[in-house]
Structure 1
Amino acid sequence: MASASGVKLTLSDLLQTPTSQSVPADIVKSILSQPPFLNVPYALNLRTISAPLLPSNRIFRSGSLSHLPSSSLALLSSQHNVKTIYSFMSPSEESILELDNIEIIRDEGNGNSVVRNISIADFAGEGGKTAFVKMYGEGILKGYKNGIRKLFEKIGEIEGGNILFHCTAGKDRTGVVAALILAFFGASEEEIALDYALTRIGTEPHRERLLQGMLKWVGEKGLEQPGLDDLSSAKGENIIAILNWMDAEWGSDMEQNVNCYEYVKSRRWNGVKGWLNKECGFENNEL
């Protein structure tokens, strides 16, 4: 694609493609060959995240790694200096990885019951926004806060190499964690929404396999039931909805302490910092 603006215009259309439909392979290949995606063979939704106060190629997000051949896994360390991987997956979802020169930290979470208690039909209205806020807020933020705290602690270290975090498709658990990091480091609403939505392209080479995995979960009703397209989508407005919800839940008390975060020019996304304080136990001087 000839220009950044051309890529953006093309993405605007492509990112709305339902997961039940394919995206042209040549377009996917072109997009995946450009930043923020990394050139690691067979990778699933692997890319860097960046913000005004977070340089690129320091923190990476991804889907599952267990299917990667050893030659691809080796590139994480040799080419991208990944020294720590945070896995937000249970052993039932992914075989345990053992990688030379890379520390792997796992958080299996305890939010699966919340996810199970959400009906697929709940996602059929409003593009799934209300259901996503519940699943992300009650399931992921509560269920994986220990791993998220450890990840933010590692981000604060000056030395120690680069960081990668992942889940199955790199969409929900990974998408929420990426949004927290981006919001914390001053990314705009548009930047956060685009980062989340790029999952639609990042997962496309593995779409059939991921759909088969989802089919096992939804059972005999199949992939045609109402709400499933929305549940499997990666619409930017849904990740913004959870950040707005966090602002309402944890943001008000942060306004009076905004000077503790001198690097943040806007008061938006104070809910992320408030959540890190109140739910993860960070002191102001630790952030």
Structure 2
Amino acid sequence: MSAVDSPSKGEVEALDPEYVSRTLSSPPFVTIPGVFNVRDIGSLPITSDSARVTRPHYAYRAAEISAIEESGKVKLRTLGITTVFDLRSDAEMSKYSTPVPTIDGVQVLHTPVFSQKDYSPTNMARRFQMYASGKTEAFMVLYSEILDAGGEAYGTILRHVRDKPDEGFLFHCTAGKDRTGVIAAILLSLVGVDNETIAHDYSLTRVGREPFREAILKRLAQEPIFESNQDAALNMLSSRHETMLAFMQVLEEKYGGAEGYVKKYCGLTDEDLQTIRNHFIVAKSKV
């Protein structure tokens, strides 16, 4: 089995705490007390124009915000975030007792990728089994399912960019990796960020999840497949550069790229896409 087919040993081993602390205290990571794996997806280079980048301090990705602290709520408002898109299902929130929080001045919208049916015990057991393998091929099947189910949810996020360029937003699922990683890749690809940069952004979850490693393992241990298999749980949480590159290939070959996908599955038009680009691409700061 090649390194591309399965996660490397480094995916399941703990990272050096000093390295983690140093990385998390620097951009693109953002500190929001009670929330992990928060990143600003702005300031990324546009392939076709070296003088332009994705808009900073506008679009943020994260893991779930159910445990956000009061100071974290203040930080959201300070960042200019007016809307949070929660991609989790009702069944997921109920199972892990992680409800949508109430945050004054911030609208938290429940925009699930999967329906209740998709989160049936049978379907979840199958997904966990595939994720636990850590194989790129398994992730491609699962990410295709996310694409097939996520058109409405992802369209809601993209329309925010189209309609509310002055209102910052954050989108998240549970770990901030799969459903979150897919829409981040779509948005970045739509505006002209190259695949290598998109894959690097995806891979940063490896560091972003680390402070909450034990809490994540404890939650996953509730699932029979992970109860006595910590490596399988960490395989599920792997976020390898190569996985996202493989996904971008699937997105291109099976769905016509990000543009083809959002037109067919999200109902967006060429005019919508141009407006999204106009709102999310800015001149690179000279500072």
TM-score range, shorter chain: 0.7 to 0.9
- SS of 1:117's partner is helix
What one-letter code is carried by the residue in structure 2 that aligns with 1:278? Answer: K
CA offsets 1:213-265 (integer angstroms, 9 cap, x no match): 1111244752257x5543221101112212211211232xxxxxxxxxxxxxx
Paired residues of 1:38 and 1:48 also in contact (CA < 8 A): yes
Q: 1:274 to 1:118 in 2, by over 3 A?
A: same
Higher relative contact order (CA 8 A, sep 6+): 2
Q: 1:177 to 1:171 in 2, by over 3 A?
A: same
C-alpha distance in 1, partners of 2:14/2:131?
25
User: Over aligned residues, Cα RMSD in angstroms?
Assistant: 2.2
Q: Is the 8 A contact 1:123 1:132 kept in 2?
A: no
Give the equivalent residue in structure 2 for 1:69: 69
| Equivalence for 1:129 | 136
Check conservation: 2:220, 2:227, Cα contact below 8 A. no
Aligned residue number for residue 237 of structure 1:
242
Judged with a 3 Å threshold, the aligned counterparts in structure 2 of structure 1 residues 228 and 65 are, in CA distance, closer, same or farther, namely closer
Give the match for residue 193 of structure 1: 199
> Does 1:274 pair with 2:273?
no
The 1:17–1:73 alpha-carbon spacing in structure 2 relative to 1, beyond 3 Å, is farther
Work out the number of aligned pairs and report it. 248
* Partner SS state of residue 247, structure 2: helix
Q: Counterpart of 1:136 in structure 2: which amino acid?
A: Y
TM-score (norm 1): 0.79
Structure 1 contact 123–231 (Cα < 8 Å) conserved = yes
1:160-199 pair list within 5 angstroms: 160-199=166-205
Q: Which runs of 5+ in 1 are unaligned?
A: 1-14, 252-270
Provide the residue aligned with 1:266 in structure 2. none
Q: Deviations over 1:43-73 (max 9, x none)?
A: 3001101332422221000011111211112
Q: Is the aligned partner of 1:18 residue 2:14?
A: no
Report the CA distance shift for 1:221/1:213 in structure 2 as closer, same or farther (over 3 A).
closer
Q: 1:118 to 1:219 in 2, by over 3 A?
A: closer
| Residue from 14, 30, 37 that aligns with 2:29 | 37
- TM-score, normalised to structure 2, is 0.79
